Amino acid sequence: MTTAPSPTQNGTEPTNALDRFFEISKRGSTIGTEVRGGLVTFVTMAYIVILNPLILSTPDINGIRLEGPAVAAATALTAGVMTILFGVVTRLPFAFAAGLGINAFLAFTVVGSVTWPEAMALVMINGVIIVLLAATGLRKLIFDAVPVQLKLAITVGIGLFIAFIGFVNAGFVTATNNASPPVDLGIGGSVARLPTVLFVITLLIGGVLIALRVKGAILIALVGGTLIAALANLIWPTEGLGFAFSGSLVGLPDLSLIGQVDFGFDLGKVSVVALVMFVFTLLFSNFFDAMGTMTGLAKESGLADEKGDFPRIKSALVVEGVGAIVGGGTSSSSATVFVESGSGIGEGARTGFATTITGILFLLAMFFTPLTSLVPSGVAAAALVLVGAMMLSQIKNIDLSDFRVLLPVFLTVTVMPMTYSIANGIGAGFVSWIVVNAFSGRAKSIHPLLWVVGAGFVLFFARGPIEALLGA
């Protein structure tokens, strides 16, 4: 396991108040490195300002849609505020934005039964519960109950998940809409489309630079890929390279969705059981997605110890819960730790100063939303694959000689990308760890809280039949 260098290891001492507050020199970093890491994280995450409005555009039970510009502004505002708050409170290099799994669940499941304001109220309720669990220490106890091997597997799984997101966003991997094979390479086995070619070029540029240990490798690759894409767009303007620049550089943000929350649920349209199951699902997704993401990022940044703990973990878990409350209150969905923060970590970010830089850029993005689309999705996707590859290296720290370890690790690592859900991967790993160890003579080694969490995941996986059985 890599560890952050101490002041004596890197030969530097804090040079100013900013350095001391964020522990920049102590963690073997520099202000320049943190600024670069924060910028890379923002560039990699900026797509959420465009993507989140598309996802949340689904009409609710009354046929009402959330307006795209308002969602974009709220998404940028929430990401900026929560990222800065997290950076200042925890001093960790993890950035916040609307969680993709949660916003998809809201759009494609929840608003089929409730209105958008009611759905955001459920998100806020979920956030309050998470804050209470974190503040009382129960969330940390559950976190400590997780075996180290599973925490490392979560890191590896998130790496593959990030890479898979990158492959899909770039069109390198596509759905066939057939039973077999369900996915294919590019279009009909070909990756000769220009957007995908740009992804491959950016990926290889970044790979070579990282192999040569060039500082700023990922940022250089992103800038280089964008410049190549801009040139290609001039030659082939109809190839769909992902540029959506409208010619307008700046505009006042539409913040009309802030406070549009309704706790007066219409029980004539949705049952109490259904509302409880919605909150339960949001809670488990939010709780374990964030835990898994934080574990993976802390491990990748060298800030986690042998147990997977990292500095100010309790504060981190509390602030993450606040992200759900704020995200619901702005109608941008729950704001949570983003796996794409790994791109900044890959650039050397080790402190909350990088996170603060990312947050400031998100706040500026409210006024410069058109510029966030200048980096084509295929180019940004290459950064995700590079980060995923680096996170995969943590698998070397897992002893897979015991099948009691091998099977849960395997399921954790594979279920995440295959189901597009960190929570599903963690749940598969937890449940299989409990069953395999309990029935192979190691029941006493299982932490009592892990049994509780495992039972919760069983309910999580069976929520469909449970809702049907209870008449939800």
pLDDT, tens only, 338-356: 988 988 998 899 999 999 9
Strands 335-337 and 96-98: antiparallel
Q: Between vectors from CA 315 to CA 309 and to CA 317, what angle results, nearest 5°?
A: 70
The answer on pLDDT for 320 being more than 90 is yes
192-234 pLDDT, tens per residue? 788 899 999 999 999 999 999 887 788 788 889 988 988 888 8
Longest dimension (CA), the chain: 67
- Contact assessment for residue 221 and residue 386, using Cβ atoms and an 8 Å cutoff: yes
In contact, 113 and 119? CB cutoff 8 Å:
no
Report the C-alpha gap between 301 and 3 in whole angstroms: 8
Q: How far apart are CA 407 and CA 414, in angstroms?
A: 11
Nearest of 435, 105, 440, 96 to residue 284 by alpha carbon: 105
Res 403 pLDDT > 90: yes
**What is the pLDDT, as a whole number, of residue 11?**
43
pLDDT of amino acid 238: 62
| Residue 371: pLDDT band with limits 50, 70, 90 | low
Are 258 and 331 in contact by the 8 Å Cβ rule? The answer is yes
Q: Which residue has the tokens 């990926």?
A: 203
How far apart, in whole angstroms, are the C-alpha atoms of residue 446 and residue 428?
Answer: 16
Distance, in Å, from the CA atom of 196 to the CA atom of 382, rounded to the nearest integer, reads: 10
Residue with tokens 């890197």, as numbered in its chain: 10
Average pLDDT over residues 375-387: 84
